[in-house]
Amino acid sequence: MENDSKSDNIVIGPWAGSTKKSKNDKISEKDKLSSDMDYIDKVAEKVMVQVIHTLNESGVNISSKEFIRHVGFLDECVKSIIYNDINYDHPLTELVRHLVGATKSKDHDKVFTSFRGDKMIEILEFINGDNDE
């Protein structure tokens, strides 16, 4: 009987034109950034479509100029959440830290948030030049 072992006939790739990438090939920083930004935009869009749809079903006028402004701001807030989650900086992150307080319950099971309107007024007065200096 012939020997069934054909180990001396094995050819190991990859070959020219192979589409499978080596494990050592890494995505460039530029491509990673582009991919991450696409991901952020797609997730934020899904969230915002659902929010707008729900508000419309609840009788909110979604065609007013003020609504559109609020949605634009909310969209950036959603993006800020995702940026933070995947370790990118976003300008709204610091603003949120100043404007929203977060405290844990005594048993540490829940987190309660509160909007700090007083800080918002201070920021708006500064922007509008109404500060007493």
Q: What is the pLDDT of residues 91-119, one digit of tens each?
A: 999 999 999 999 998 898 899 999 999 99
- Helix, strand or coil, per DSSP, at residue 112: strand
Preceding omega of 14 cis (within 30 degrees of 0): yes
User: Does residue 34 share a domain with residue 59?
Assistant: yes
> What's the chain's length in residues?
133
pLDDT (average), residues 4-31 = 63
- Residue 11 included in any domain: no
Judge whether 13 and 21 are in contact, CB under 8 Å: no
Provide the 3-class DSSP secondary structure of residue 11.
Answer: coil
Residues 97, 84 within the same domain? no
Same domain, 51 and 97: no
Mean pLDDT of 123-131: 86
Query: Does one domain contain both 33 and 85?
Result: yes
Domains held by the chain: number: 2
Do 82 and 113 have their domain in common? Answer: no
Are residue 69 and residue 49 in the same domain, yes or no?
yes
Residues 46 and 71 in one domain: yes
Residue 53 belongs to what domain range?
28-89
pTM: 0.70
The answer to whether the CB of 100 falls within 8 A of the CB of 87 is no
Structural domain contains residue 70: yes
Of 94, 97, 89, 82, nearest to 44 (Cα)? 82
pLDDT tens digits, 41-97: 999 999 999 999 999 999 999 999 999 999 999 999 999 999 999 999 999 999 999
Answer whether residue 16 is part of any domain: no
Q: Which helix (H) or strand (E) holds 49?
A: helix 29-57
Flag whether pLDDT at 20 surpasses 70. no
The radius of gyration computed from the CA coordinates of the chain, to the nearest angstrom, equals 26
Continuous segment of H or E residues that includes residue 32: helix 29-57
Does some domain include residue 128?
A: yes
Domain boundary pick from 54, 73, 89: 89
Is 80 in the same domain as 126?
Answer: no
